[in-house]
Chain A
Amino acid sequence: MVPSVIGALLITYLIAYVIPTDPVRAWVGEKLLNPETLESLRKKYKFDAPWYEQFTYLVAQLMSGKLEDPTRGVPVVAQVAERFPVTVEVAIFGFLFTVAIGIPLGVLAAAKRDSVIDLAVRVFALFGSSMPSFVLYYYLILLFYVQTQATLMAGVPTPSYTCMLKLASFKDQVPIIGAIAWTVGQVPMFGAAMCGEYGVVADTVARMWLPGFALGVLAGGFIARVVRNSLLDALSSDSVLFAKARGLSSARIWRHALKNGFAPIVTILGLHFAGLLTGAIIAETVFNIPGVGRYIYQGIGRLNFPVIIAGTFLFSIVYVVANFVVDVIYALVDPRVRY
């Protein structure tokens, strides 16, 4: 795992810093700064040093949490940590909608094979994979926000300060459970729920359902197809034939088929969640959500390398961890895969 992450950083960095340019000027933008300030910035980021020194400096800074966002003068890691829970929230909504749309459709398509429903699911999947995401987001905003005012378009509802304090003290008082509760509570919606601030939860739903729905529409078709194919494979397997030959009821036969059919789907869903986290950049930009994705996007615009590096690093870790978690879940589901 670790080599992979270092590898990604290295690749990004190698290309980033082996360029004959002056990012510092870009950071500063239109402001007129005296040459000494520019020079000191350059020295700080070691732009005048050889690339391997720059890289080790950057990684060291990153790991120790001291890497700074030059446009704000604050540690990048803190900025990212602040925004990550919001991205998680968006991803959760997206995941819920994907599952709510995709799985029932997939089961239905498998049950009524080659019917109109099956064809409709196929078409739905086709559109999902052919539609540019940002175009769909704009269309949906047009429909739901402009025409019907059915959602909010700014900010993220967060639990009150007192709530966060309560969670923090809970973490300090109760050992393991406290820590878990605190971590989960970082996601604004869950934190508010734990403190009983249900108004915040309702506001969150009002805010997040549209991006979640959009993400669900895009991926739902694909998931439906995967579920359909997996179920059909399971239904035509020899063990289902044997189940029928034993006179098992329809319900029990479907149980066999679903259990076998869903094992591979768990993997795909896990990876999809990771994809939602890392692909949030577009959705956050269009829906104006202050998460890590939008932070990276803003960093791109200003050629803010520390931000980009930190963002890339975070997403790489997310992906690697997600792969690992998916493997673990699969081992739990399928008794053949035990270590």
Chain B
Amino acid sequence: MSGLEERQVLKARNVTVRFYTYAGVVHAVTGAYLDVYEGETIAIVGETGSGKSVFTRALTGLIEPPGKIESGSVLFRRRNGEVVDLLKLSREDLRRVRGDEISYVFQDPSSALDPLYTAADHIVETILVHRDVSKGEAFSEAVQLLRDVAIPNPELRAKNYPHELSGGQKQRVVIATAMANKPRLLIADEPTTNLDVTVQAQILDLLASLKGKYGMGMLLITHNLGVVAEVADRVYVMYGGRIVESADVFTIYESPAHPYTAMLLKSVPDPTRKIDKLESIPGTVPDLIDVGPGCLFAPRCPFAKDVCQRQTPPAIELGDRHVVHCWLHAKR
């Protein structure tokens, strides 16, 4: 079954993830969806707790108990052209996809890298598990990869342990590991949040150039709207575990349809304007335990109506692949 369009790499539909904890059932992600095309950079934006990390991990089934992927389909076009539903693959098949065709870069490189393994060890391991090459070949590939991610003296650095590297270098090693098998899709979960601002720019540039060089798709998770404006082609906005709006980057910035998106954009201060007060969104992030019907943003929304509390808004197409989940745009 091929539900994918011609240049589409990934199609996720109706993904729901729940965590069964002592405190109750946490609806971390509800009915999320995603489309990624070749060569695109997709940004997923949202506050902490919006479910963006859980959603992207669920894409390759990286959810551990007490979490459970309740439903959903994630169609993925593999290198050999075959289209599979990742959520229906066996564990062994899924393992083959990860690190080979879909790679992850996580937020904190210090904790992602194993302190007892050298930089090269990480890369070599990832190569050997997915491809049939000798250790020596893998090692020279690793050195080359370290060169590609702009680490000076790669032959030397390859033998370094993580604690001997700076934050920026560690993240580069992580990226090199992710790139090792030339994946079709790179999922980067807040890759620059833990780094200095100057290093952030370098890493983003690096990711962009690698994307171009290898022709990958990139899924970037961030809460930094500035970064989104710089690199993204299309944007998905998440709130309370759901997608609330999705559009191409220009539309999102120029005409956001969802009140949350609009308020998010307004809360980013413009350095060229003098203001007296910083804009913020009143209220707090919703509690995702035992969630009932209705729009989750309603308690904080200045435009909330009766129907918003009672019924969950459906997806409303505003044309040109701009979708919003808000009763304000519902046609009577």
Residue B35 is within 8 A (CB to CB) of chain A in the complex: no
**B105-140 contacts to A (CB < 8 Å):** 106, 108, 111-117, 125-126, 129-130
Q: In the assembly, what is the distance between CA of A82 and CA of B95, in Å?
A: 60
Residue B261 is within 8 A (CB to CB) of chain A in the complex: no
- Whether A241 lies near B106 (C-beta < 8 A) is yes
Q: In the assembly, what is the distance between CA of A247 and CA of B60, in Å?
A: 10
Residue B62 is within 8 A (CB to CB) of chain A in the complex: yes
Q: In the assembly, what is the distance between CA of A246 and CA of B130, in Å?
A: 9
- Whether B115 lies near A244 (C-beta < 8 A) is no
- Whether B116 lies near A259 (C-beta < 8 A) is yes
Residue A329 is within 8 A (CB to CB) of chain B in the complex: no
- Closest Cβ of chain A to B323, distance in Å, is 29
Residue B96 is within 8 A (CB to CB) of chain A in the complex: yes
Select which of B95, B96, B111, B177 is within 8 A of A238 by beta carbon. Answer: B111
Q: In the assembly, what is the distance between CA of A263 and CA of B115, in Å?
A: 11
Which residues of A are found within 8 Å of B117, using beta-carbon distances? Answer: 256
Select which of A245, A248, A260, A263 is within 8 A of B125 by beta carbon. Answer: A248
Which residues of A are found within 8 Å of B163, using beta-carbon distances? Answer: 335-336
- Whether A244 lies near B98 (C-beta < 8 A) is yes
- Whether B98 lies near A238 (C-beta < 8 A) is no
Closest to B101 in A: A247
Which residues of B are found within 8 Å of A334, using beta-carbon distances? Answer: 115-116
Select which of A246, A256, A259, A335 is within 8 A of B98 by beta carbon. Answer: A246
Residue B37 is within 8 A (CB to CB) of chain A in the complex: no
Residue B245 is within 8 A (CB to CB) of chain A in the complex: no
Contact A335:B112 (CB < 8 A) given known A242-B106, A245-B98, A247-B100: no
- Closest Cβ of chain B to A339, distance in Å, is 14
Residue A166 is within 8 A (CB to CB) of chain B in the complex: no
Q: In the assembly, what is the distance between CA of A76 and CA of B100, in Å?
A: 69
Q: In the assembly, what is the distance between CA of A256 and CA of B129, in Å?
A: 14
Residue A237 is within 8 A (CB to CB) of chain B in the complex: yes
Q: In the assembly, what is the distance between CA of A74 and CA of B163, in Å?
A: 56
Select which of B103, B112, B115, B174 is within 8 A of A336 by beta carbon. Answer: B115
- Closest Cβ of chain A to B162, distance in Å, is 9
- Whether A247 lies near B104 (C-beta < 8 A) is no
Residue B316 is within 8 A (CB to CB) of chain A in the complex: no
Q: In the assembly, what is the distance between CA of A247 and CA of B130, in Å?
A: 8
Residue B99 is within 8 A (CB to CB) of chain A in the complex: yes
Count of B residues near A, CB < 8 Å? Answer: 28
Which residues of B are found within 8 Å of A249, using beta-carbon distances? Answer: 95, 129
Which residues of B are found within 8 Å of A260, using beta-carbon distances? Answer: 114-116
- Closest Cβ of chain A to B79, distance in Å, is 14
- Closest Cβ of chain B to A311, distance in Å, is 40
- Whether B116 lies near A335 (C-beta < 8 A) is yes
Contact A242:B125 (CB < 8 A) given known A335-B115, A335-B116: no
- Whether A252 lies near B115 (C-beta < 8 A) is no
Q: Total A-B pairs in contact (CB under 8 Å)? A: 72
**A167-205 contacts to B (CB < 8 Å):** none
Residue B83 is within 8 A (CB to CB) of chain A in the complex: no
Residue B161 is within 8 A (CB to CB) of chain A in the complex: yes
- Closest Cβ of chain A to B316, distance in Å, is 35
Most buried by A among B96, B104, B108: B104
Residue A243 is within 8 A (CB to CB) of chain B in the complex: yes
- Whether A242 lies near B129 (C-beta < 8 A) is no
Residue A239 is within 8 A (CB to CB) of chain B in the complex: yes
Q: In the assembly, what is the distance between CA of A247 and CA of B108, in Å?
A: 19
Which residues of B are found within 8 Å of A243, using beta-carbon distances? Answer: 114
Residue B227 is within 8 A (CB to CB) of chain A in the complex: no
Which residues of B are found within 8 Å of A246, using beta-carbon distances? Answer: 98-99, 103-104, 125-126, 129, 177-178
Q: In the assembly, what is the distance between CA of A145 and CA of B106, in Å?
A: 60
- Whether A248 lies near B104 (C-beta < 8 A) is no
Which residues of B are found within 8 Å of A244, using beta-carbon distances? Answer: 62, 98
- Whether B116 lies near A238 (C-beta < 8 A) is no
Residue B4 is within 8 A (CB to CB) of chain A in the complex: no
Which residues of B are found within 8 Å of A259, using beta-carbon distances? Answer: 114, 116
Q: In the assembly, what is the distance between CA of A256 and CA of B114, in Å?
A: 7
24 interchain pairs (CB within 8 A)? A239-B111, A239-B113, A239-B114, A239-B115, A241-B112, A242-B104, A242-B112, A245-B62, A245-B98, A245-B106, A246-B98, A246-B99, A247-B95, A247-B97, A247-B129, A248-B99, A248-B126, A249-B129, A252-B125, A256-B114, A260-B114, A260-B116, A334-B116, A335-B116
Other 13 A-B pairs with CB < 8 A, given A238-B111, A242-B113: A238-B106, A239-B113, A239-B115, A242-B104, A246-B178, A247-B95, A247-B126, A248-B99, A248-B125, A249-B129, A259-B116, A260-B114, A260-B115
Which 6 interchain pairs have the tightest Cβ spacing?
Answer: A247-B99, A246-B99, A238-B111, A247-B98, A245-B104, A242-B112
